[in-house]
Structure formats: C-alpha cells, structure tokens
Amino acid sequence: MSIETHGLRKQYDSTVALSDVSVSVGDDVQVLALIGPSGGGKSTFLRLIGGLERPCSGSVSVDGKTLPDGERALLEWRKRNGFLFQAFNLFPHLTAEENVILPLVEVHEISREEATAGAREVLSRFGLGDHLAKQPGQLSGGQQQRVALARAIAHRPRWLLLDEPTSALDPEMKAEVLDLIDELRQNGQRIILSTHEMGFARRAADHVVFLSGGRKLEEGNAERLFTSPETAEVRSFLQKVMKW
C-alpha cells in the first residue's frame, strides 16, 4: 500500500507542528518509521495520516485515495487503521478482555459473541491468556501495552499506527513489546511508527522519515539513511542518540 502526502501543514494557534511535508512511500514498504527530535512533528504526522485530525493544508493519500473531508467518511478512514498512542490509554475500570471487546462491538459493530472470541484469541496469542479478567492497574506496564496492541489489531487494520509504543516502559518491558511488534511485522502487518528506538527502526523499518521542527529533513531506505545520512542535522542527531 502506498502513502503520499503533499505539502502537509498543521498549525495549532501560533505553533507550526508540520510545515510543507511531502513524503512518498511506495507499495513495497511494509514498515515506515518516523524519527527525529521531540517536538519534530511525528505525532502530528501520525494523527493526520490516521485521519484523527485534518491538515490545515495539503493532502494525504493512501493507495491513491485522498483523505476525505466529511466527518462520516473520515470516521470510515479511521476505522480501517489501528492506533496505539504514547501513554497507555486503556480504560482503567475495564478488564483486559473488555478493553479489546468494547471497540469491536461499539466501533466495528461486531457481535459480542464474535468480539469475545476474537479478543480471547488475540490476547492469548500475545501471552495474556491468564490475564483476561485483570484491570490495567493489575498488569505490568509491558502487559498493559500488549493489551493496547491487542486492541489496536483485533479488527485487523490495514495499517497499524504506533506513536512511541515503548517510550513509557523500562528496558525489559520495552524489549517484550518490541518483540511483539516485530512478530506482527513478520506476519505481514503494515506498520507506521514513531520511535526513539533507533536500533529497532533500523532493523524493522523499510523506509524512514526524519522530521525536525515540523519539516521533513530526509526520507529514504532505512539502512541507507542510518549508514549515510545526507544532512548534517540528521547525522548529528544519529551520532548523539546512537552513541550509547
């Protein structure tokens, strides 16, 4: 599936979050990573691609279809994607199982019976079969993020959008969640993620977009971008963050 953006711009009051961002992601790309310094525009870019927000100007198209304007059509667009954003956003008063079931029933209009079976299947696959009845507060950070991932993929989204999926986790849990994302990748899931995990981005992504100050500084094949960045800013960023 291809993704093209043309002159994407998003401004919040006086803050320009994205400015004139055009990217071209070919059909052969399965995993796209967004990297760059904090405040660079990664989350904003993900929200625009996923149809959670509209750009001030510019366009997004996926498979040659342009992101629609109308609220209803935009909702359909959103439903085809799976989202997992930075902070855990599980419902704290619901069990792990119910957290996965609820959007299947309410948003995707799947019968409760089918949703329950689907939720149990995906949670078991993610190693959470013994934790179905626990609420998020009774689970570790890594387990919570695995529930959130299960919820994001339970409706079999075309694209899985992950916004810094491991940034709130300690190292061991980080590894367990990255392993799971890698497994989804190996099973053919298409993924767009923002991350500060440079080793993971380099290994798992096919294509990388580097955003800084709301602008795209570079994009290209992951291995190429990591081995020979074209701009001084990208080179200096990579040297800094990959030093340790």
Ligand X SMILES: Nc1ncnc2c1ncn2[C@@H]1O[C@H](COP(=O)(O)OP(=O)(O)O)[C@@H](O)[C@H]1O
43 binding Mg ion? (CB under 5 A):
yes
| Contacts with Mg ion, 23-42, as mask; x by CB under 5 A | -------------------x
In this structure, the number of other CB atoms found within 10 A of the CB of residue 242 comes to 11
Residue 91 makes contact with ligand X by CB under 6 A: no
Strand partners, 215: 212
CB neighbour list of residue 94: distance below 8 Å, 6 or more residues apart = 102, 135
CA 156, 68, 210, 194 torsion: positive or negative?
A: negative
- Classify burial at 145, counting beta carbons within 10 Å of its beta carbon; exposed 0-12, middle 13-18, buried 19 or more: buried
C-beta of 15 vs 227, nearer to ligand X: 15
Question: By C-alpha distance, which of 213, 212, 215, 214 is closest to 234?
Answer: 212
Residue among 3, 74, 34 at smallest CA distance from 198: 34
Query: Least Å distance between CB 38 and Mg ion?
Result: 7
Q: Out of 2, 24, 38, 239, which residue is the one contacting ligand X (CB under 6 A)?
A: 38
144 touching Mg ion, by CB under 5 A:
no
Length of the chain: 244
Query: Which residue number has the CB closest to Mg ion?
Result: 43
Smallest distance from ligand X to CB 56, Å: 12
Query: In whole angstroms, how close is the CB of 49 to ligand X at the nearest point?
Result: 12
Contact track, ligand X, 186-205, x by CB under 6 A: --------x-----------
Could you say which of 2, 15, 24, 231 contacts ligand X (CB under 6 A)?
15
| Site residues (vs Mg ion, CB under 5 A) | 42-43
| Site residues (vs ligand X, CB under 6 A) | 12, 15, 17, 38-44, 194
